[in-house]
A and B are shown apart, each in its own frame.
Chain A
Amino acid sequence: MSITFFRSRMFTTAAALAAAFSFAASPAAADSVIRWMHVEQVPGNIELWNQIAKEFEAKHPGVKIELQFLENQAFKAKMPTLLQSNDAPSFFYTWGGGVLKAQSETGALRPIDAALDADGGQWRASINPNAVSGLSFDGKVWASPTKSGLVSFYYNKEMFKKAGVDASKIATWDDFLAAVKTLKDAGVTPIAGGGLDKWPLHFYWSYLSMREAGQKGFADAKAGENDGFIAEPFVKAGQHLAELGKLQPFQNGYLGATWNDALAAFGDGRAAIILSFENTPATQASNSTSRKGLADDNIGRFPFPTIEGAPGVVTDSFGGLNGWAVTKNAPPETEEFLRYMASVDVQKRLAKDTQIMPVAKGASEAIAKPLLKEVAETLAKETWHQNFLDQDLGPNVGAVVNDVSVEIVSGGLEPADAAQQIEDAYSLERQ
């Protein structure tokens, strides 16, 4: 009796367990785990992302979103192997450009066109078209745009006043050089530069060549037409940069300074100008010695000047463009989540709380800080958005551009030789 009782108990338990497993298993099969790989280090931003993920999970039962962090350099080094393995994330952070293109060509990614064009193309229509086209190759969109950026000059208003320089009068490169001279004569270190990291100085060469070549000239050079990057505008861009270098405008020891050092020099009031990202008001403070940096009302902004007689216009902007790239085997809900991330409401929250430059139309109105608002308005009116050259031209040519920018400005390389080096490197990419 007792044995049969036990047996039946055992049987029912086993049956119950089996049932439980099968119940657990069936939603598990429908369960989708979206793995989100990012390089974000600011805790507040990740918190907001987690919150957005939770909201999405609540609205989509059975979907689970996991955030995975990799440090920037490790992320870049690991991505080639990771993408070709079974551990590939569902979607990951991208800077667009040559790397995204290379990734798209391996077949490891899934274009998001179908999702963009679903429901009469609502998603596509809601995003700034420059951002969408910036992440497109071969007629397909390879990443969901998430934020844009703008590099421009930030200056210390007090120091400008002390030296008697009026930032609003700086319209051309010659005006800028004159301002640098005036600052120097007044005993002020004109510019903060980060030569160790190299890329902070590539901003100068990039902007100058954009101004010299214009959008068409730049596209031609990339396509290898009209002598590519050894064409006159690119040599001239180097010459302008060399002129700036001759004025010795940077803080002492700038060649050994990292980007954070440069931000610190600006934030401490040791240099008057910095050519930098839209988030400078925040980063100059966090990197400064006092952790407070310059007060917001002491910081002014002016766009990179134009060059007289050259085709580039002041509304041609240079800056980052970031997105989320979807991998081939990602669960189908991934695009749905990215669409949610890119919706105006979420983008407004991101813009307000994480201070990004949103890409969804109308989201920039959520930006309260005047300096950021100014950038958002500039981006809304931009005529051309050029992504960072160390992304756009791929990591190899990008590194060459970074190298030669530092060399030109420090007098180690002739502008024509620099142009030749870039062309040599890029000619291999065109093959």
Chain B
Amino acid sequence: MSMSETTMPGRSFAPANGKTGPRATLQRRKRSLKHSKWPVLLLFLPPALMLFTVLVILPMGEAAWYSFYNWNGYGLPSQWVGWRNYQLIFRNGAFSQALINNGMIVVASILIQIPLALWLATMISSRIHGALFFRLIFFLPYVLADVAAGMIWRFVYDGDFGLVGGIAHLFGAEPPYWLADRDTAMYAILGVVIWKYFGFHMMLFIAGLQAIDKSVLEAADIDGATGLQKFRLVTLPLLGSTVRLSVFFAVVGSLQLFDMIMPLTGGGPSNSTQTMVTFLYNFGVTRMQVGFGSAVGVVLFVICVTLAFSYKRIFMRHD
């Protein structure tokens, strides 16, 4: 639309069939769009479409095809196993644990990370002294590569030489080994996830807060609203779309979580910290089960697509 407007600005204003007025302009604009669409499409679409097909559509189709074979990646897949790979996935305890863990990450994001980010954002979005500094500090973890964060926190949690171990030694207590305990490892990871990504959500909220019209808040002030009332009745409703976007990112991020977990626990102990992607890697890639891994990929894809579309449909309809 904007393309046709900018490339042929004069035409929409030049009456060709004698009709004038906004309606005629609209018709002409539609027609000029039709005329101008094809050359542009022909010029710009093929490269992108080809890349997208070769790098996205084809591999997806291939994965779907491989998922029906028992194949180790050598030669061509020949042993057709029907739905067996899919049955194995849903019988696999580690996969259900991975699903639960993905859910836990989403829940922790919604219950802890996003409120924390929102709270911090409301504090440092106004131009108070040092706000910029804190924004930078809180955003730093997000800038760090996931793998680096994982390695740093592996050291922090280490009971022998790490920070946690050091603190325990300081108090003369037996150092805990959170990452080595299947009951605590996932919570330790959740801590890292929240630490890593709250800054990102905080930035989203700061942007959202700055977009709120100051006059609305001033009006509330004049009406005698308390700080809490202002937040609950004015700020939060106006931030609704940002919150929904934030939750969406948390869900998508949880489904992608991989490179932080690998250096921390690799999915262990006893598969207690697998996510769907670490499950795919540990059970598909490292075991050279290309067929099985592809089936996991297909399941992950279906889950992602379903979640993303239904979330957008249900919660982000008006955004």
Residues in A lying within 8 Å of B, measured CB to CB:
73, 76-77, 80-81, 83-84, 99, 102-103, 105-108, 195-196, 198, 252-257, 261, 270, 289, 394-396, 399, 403, 406-407, 410, 412, 428, 431
With A252-B177, A256-B180 already in contact, the answer to whether A395 and B269 are too (CB < 8 A) is no
CA distance A412 to B174 in the complex (A): 24
Pairwise interchain contact A102-B74, C-beta atoms closer than 8 A:
yes
Instruction: Give a binary string over B155-182; 1 marks a CB under 8 Å from any A CB, 0 the rest.
Output: 0000111000000000000110101111
Q: Which residues does chain B contribute within 8 Å of A106, judged by CB atoms?
A: 74-75
Task: Supply 18 A–B pairs (Cβ within 8 Å), ascending by A.
Answer: A76-B288, A99-B288, A102-B74, A106-B75, A196-B180, A196-B269, A198-B268, A252-B174, A253-B179, A255-B177, A255-B181, A255-B182, A255-B270, A395-B286, A395-B287, A407-B270, A410-B269, A410-B270
Known: A195-B180, A253-B160. 17 other contacts (CB 8 A): A80-B288, A81-B73, A83-B74, A102-B72, A102-B288, A196-B180, A196-B268, A252-B177, A255-B180, A255-B182, A255-B268, A255-B269, A289-B161, A394-B72, A395-B72, A396-B72, A399-B283
Q: Which residues does chain A contribute within 8 Å of B282, judged by CB atoms?
A: 399
Pairwise interchain contact B266-A196, C-beta atoms closer than 8 A:
yes
Pairwise interchain contact A412-B70, C-beta atoms closer than 8 A:
no
With A102-B74, A103-B74 already in contact, the answer to whether A253 and B177 are too (CB < 8 A) is yes
Quote the shortest CB–CB distance from A70 to chain B (angstroms): 15
The answer, among B75, B182, B185, B289, for a CB contact under 8 Å with A396, is B289
Q: Which residues does chain A contribute within 8 Å of B180, judged by CB atoms?
A: 195-196, 252-257
The SS class assigned to the B binding surface is loop
CA distance A195 to B265 in the complex (A): 10
Counting CB contacts under 8 A, is B104 at the interface?
A: no
Q: Which residues does chain A contribute within 8 Å of B289, judged by CB atoms?
A: 396
Which partner residue on chain A sits nearest B264 by CB separation? A256
A-B pairs, 9 with minimum CB distance: A253-B177, A256-B180, A80-B73, A253-B180, A255-B269, A255-B180, A256-B179, A106-B75, A396-B287
Q: Which residues does chain B contribute within 8 Å of A399, judged by CB atoms?
A: 282-283, 286-287
CA distance A428 to B291 in the complex (A): 13
Quote the shortest CB–CB distance from B109 to chain A (angstroms): 24
Counting CB contacts under 8 A, is B285 at the interface?
A: yes
CA distance A406 to B265 in the complex (A): 14
With A254-B180, A256-B180 already in contact, the answer to whether A396 and B288 are too (CB < 8 A) is yes
The answer, among A198, A253, A428, for a CB contact under 8 Å with B159, is A253
Q: Which residues does chain A contribute within 8 Å of B75, judged by CB atoms?
A: 84, 105-107
With A395-B286, A396-B288, A410-B270 already in contact, the answer to whether A256 and B177 are too (CB < 8 A) is yes
CA distance A270 to B161 in the complex (A): 13
CA distance A124 to B288 in the complex (A): 32
Q: Which residues does chain B contribute within 8 Å of A254, judged by CB atoms?
A: 180
Pairwise interchain contact A80-B269, C-beta atoms closer than 8 A:
no
Which partner residue on chain A sits nearest B281 by CB separation? A77
Pairwise interchain contact B182-A412, C-beta atoms closer than 8 A:
yes
Q: Which residues does chain A contribute within 8 Å of B283, judged by CB atoms?
A: 399
Quote the shortest CB–CB distance from B90 to chain A (angstroms): 15
The answer, among A99, A103, A270, A428, for a CB contact under 8 Å with B70, is A428
CA distance A84 to B73 in the complex (A): 10
With A395-B288, A396-B287, A428-B70 already in contact, the answer to whether A195 and B269 are too (CB < 8 A) is yes
Pairwise interchain contact A412-B74, C-beta atoms closer than 8 A:
no
Q: Which residues does chain A contribute within 8 Å of B161, judged by CB atoms?
A: 289
Quote the shortest CB–CB distance from B176 to chain A (angstroms): 8
Which partner residue on chain A sits nearest B177 by CB separation? A253
The answer, among A76, A77, A80, for a CB contact under 8 Å with B74, is A80
Which partner residue on chain B sits nearest A107 by CB separation? B75
Quote the shortest CB–CB distance from A389 to chain B (angstroms): 14
Pairwise interchain contact B286-A195, C-beta atoms closer than 8 A:
no
CA distance A103 to B285 in the complex (A): 16
CA distance A261 to B165 in the complex (A): 15
CA distance A407 to B270 in the complex (A): 7
Which partner residue on chain A sits nearest B73 by CB separation? A80
CA distance A198 to B287 in the complex (A): 14
Q: Which residues does chain A contribute within 8 Å of B270, judged by CB atoms?
A: 255, 406-407, 410, 412
Q: Which residues does chain A contribute within 8 Å of B181, judged by CB atoms?
A: 255-256
Pairwise interchain contact A256-B269, C-beta atoms closer than 8 A:
yes
Pairwise interchain contact B182-A252, C-beta atoms closer than 8 A:
no
Q: Which residues does chain A contribute within 8 Å of B179, judged by CB atoms?
A: 253, 256
Which partner residue on chain A sits nearest B176 by CB separation? A253
Q: Which residues between 144 and 159 of chain B lie within 8 Å of chain A, taking CB atoms?
A: 159
Most chain A CB inside 10 Å of its own CB: which residue of B72, B283, B286: B72
Instruction: Give a binary string over B66-93; 1 marks a CB under 8 Å from any A CB, 0 the rest.
Output: 0000101111000100000000000000
Q: Which residues does chain B contribute within 8 Å of A396, judged by CB atoms?
A: 72, 287-289
CA distance A222 to B161 in the complex (A): 43
Which partner residue on chain A sits nearest B81 by CB separation? A428
Which partner residue on chain A sits nearest B71 by CB separation? A80
